[in-house]
Amino acid sequence: MQIILVGFMGVGKTTVGQLLANTLAQPFIDLDAEFNTVTGYTPGAYMHQFSEAQFRQVEQQILKTQLQQPQAVISSGGGVLTLPTSREIMQTSDFYVVYLASDFAVNIGRLKGDSHPRPLMTKLTAHGLHELWQTRQAHYQSVANLTINTNGLIPAAIVAQIISKL
């Protein structure tokens, strides 16, 4: 299978992706980790050192490369669809795109309890974060083959829902 997970930061793409890959006995690829391997920087450190625009270009190259995998479960970064060309790349790929959705309050609550630092979280006001969230919902929806509302669901239940729809 070729499956890619999209959704806002903190929604659980990496946890769900890993579990889904294990369940399907398929390779798992995390695009943020791949970015780190390729550039030697974490996404946050790269944006800090260079710029978000440069980060998006490199992120797109990594996305393109990984979408060549004959089979894999890929988890993407929350902003991977920021560039219109990245949305096109995902729309025209053979990968089955699963959008992990959740309510804004649930998502932000989870992010606040997360130890993993998110550069965009610290840079934005509460209003700015809500705007970004709304803009991105449209991006995720524009590429999704399947949308799962993850509110109140444990990772195993999300994986079970995805598998039941494949």
The distance of closest approach from Cβ of residue 166 to ligand S3P in the complex, given in angstroms and rounded to an integer, is 23
Pick 13 or 86: Cβ nearer ligand S3P: 13
> Which residues are CB-neighbours of 104 under 8 A, at least 6 positions away?
130, 133
Within residues 117-146, the interface with ligand S3P by CB under 6 A covers 118-120
Pick 25 or 112: Cβ nearer ligand S3P: 112
Residue 23 labelled as part of a binding site: no
Residue 77 labelled as part of a binding site: no
Is 77 near ligand S3P (CB under 6 A)? Answer: yes
Residue 56 labelled as part of a binding site: yes
Spatial separation of the C-alpha atoms in residues 27 and 120, rounded to whole Å: 29
Cβ pair 143, 90 in contact under 8 A: yes
Amino acid in position 50: F
Spatial separation of the C-alpha atoms in residues 12 and 85, rounded to whole Å: 25
| Lookup result for tokens 């630092």 | 117
> Which residues are CB-neighbours of 131 under 8 A, at least 6 positions away?
none
Sole binder of ligand S3P in the list 63, 67, 78, 143 (CB under 6 A): 78
Residue 14 labelled as part of a binding site: yes
End-to-end CA distance of the chain: 9
Hey, which residues does 28 pair with through a beta bridge? 73
Q: Pick the stretch among 86-94, 114-122, 142-150, 151-159 that binds ligand S3P (CB under 6 A).
A: 114-122
Spatial separation of the C-alpha atoms in residues 64 and 60, rounded to whole Å: 6
The distance of closest approach from Cβ of residue 66 to ligand S3P in the complex, given in angstroms and rounded to an integer, is 13
Could you tell me how many residues of this chain bind ligand S3P (CB under 6 A)?
11
Within residues 10-49, the interface with ligand S3P by CB under 6 A covers 13, 32, 43-44
Residue 12 labelled as part of a binding site: yes
Binding-site residues for Mg(2+) sit at 14
